[in-house]
Amino acid sequence: MAILLVRYSEIGLKSAPVRKRFENQLKDNMLTMLMEDGVEALINKKGARYYIEATDPDAAVRSVRKVFGVASISVAEVCSSKMEDMCAMAARYSMDRLSEGQSFAVKARREGSQQYTSMDVGRETGSAIFLANEHKGVKVDLTDPDVLFYVEVRDNQAYIFQDYVRCHAGLPVGCQGKVVAFVEDDRGMVSAWLMMKRGCRVMVCGDESRAEALRSYDPLLKVVGPDWSRNALGYVMGCSVDGVADVDVSSFDLPVYFPTVGMTDAEVSAMAETIRAGL
């Protein structure tokens, strides 16, 4: 059975009460995104991992990778943490993923009270993979393998996978309050996106098409008028280092943020294209 392993990053640095609140927000955001994208899925959490069972794992990856706070995702096969079960699973998993003459390696990590070490897991599953593919002339290369397998053991479950899908990380949208973002051009859109990545719930004032692009990352995003500031903690503007001096911040009743002030036009354009593509 394939399952998605979802990891976060800086949330783990928070104190226990704050981390729990952020973890709950992240789970809610993932469920909202999956529902918005029409992906049937069930999310469970244990320790510092979320486990997603989905009818379409690839669609679930495309959906969840847009959620701020998610650092990486892996599509894994799961079995019990018994050594014989892990070896059997690793052998089956590898047979369609190793070609003639390729080299491979296994990276293993373990968390729990098992009677074996991570090195034991790597050695035994690696041996099972080698024996299952010996007729192909495969070999072990721990330095620069053609194919790398990961085995992660957590309590009574084990997961084997090949890839880490890198995501945007940051903080879950909604954990840092609301801001109003003036989005009239690409720099404004990128500024709003960067504030979303820092956990802010952004209310967009401005261009509808750019607001729609931002909604790919927060299905609950709203478009508001220029005078809307209810419960907002500040305003967000897209200004370059040359343009920020023209903004009279004293005319605003709340703090004003300029997330892209240190970015060049080329950097802003590249990020804007990524945002429009929903990547």
- The reported pLDDT for the residue numbered 238 is 93
What class does CATH assign to 2-78? Answer: alpha beta
Amino acid identity, position 141: D
Domain residue ranges in the chain: 2-78, 82-155, 178-276
Instruction: Please name which of 20, 58, 23, 15 lies closest in space to residue 43, comparing C-alpha atoms.
Output: 23
For strands 222-223 and 70-80, give the pairing: unpaired
Contact assessment for residue 199 and residue 173, using Cβ atoms and an 8 Å cutoff: yes
pLDDT tens per residue, the chain (279 residues)? 689 999 998 999 999 999 999 999 999 999 999 999 999 999 999 988 999 999 899 999 999 999 999 999 999 999 999 999 999 999 999 999 999 999 999 999 998 888 999 999 999 999 999 999 999 999 999 999 999 999 999 989 999 999 999 999 999 999 999 999 999 999 999 999 999 999 999 999 988 899 999 999 999 999 998 777 778 899 999 998 888 888 888 888 889 999 999 999 999 999 999 999 988
The alpha helices in 111-222, defined as continuous H runs, are: 118-132, 186-197, 208-215
Calculate the alpha carbon distances from 40 to 31, 59, 167, 174 in Å.
Answer: 9, 10, 21, 23
What pLDDT does 279 receive? 81
pLDDT at site 133: 97
**pTM: predicted TM-score of the whole model, two decimal places:** 0.91
pLDDT for 278: 85
pLDDT of residue 170: 95
Query: Residue 1 has what pLDDT?
Result: 61
Q: CATH homologous superfamily of domain 178-276?
A: HUPs (3.40.50.620)
Helix 57-64, helix 16-36: angle, nearest 10:
120
- Rounded CA-CA distance 28/180 in Å is 22
Identity of residue 15: S
In CATH terms, the fold of domain 82-155 is VC0802-like (3.30.2130)
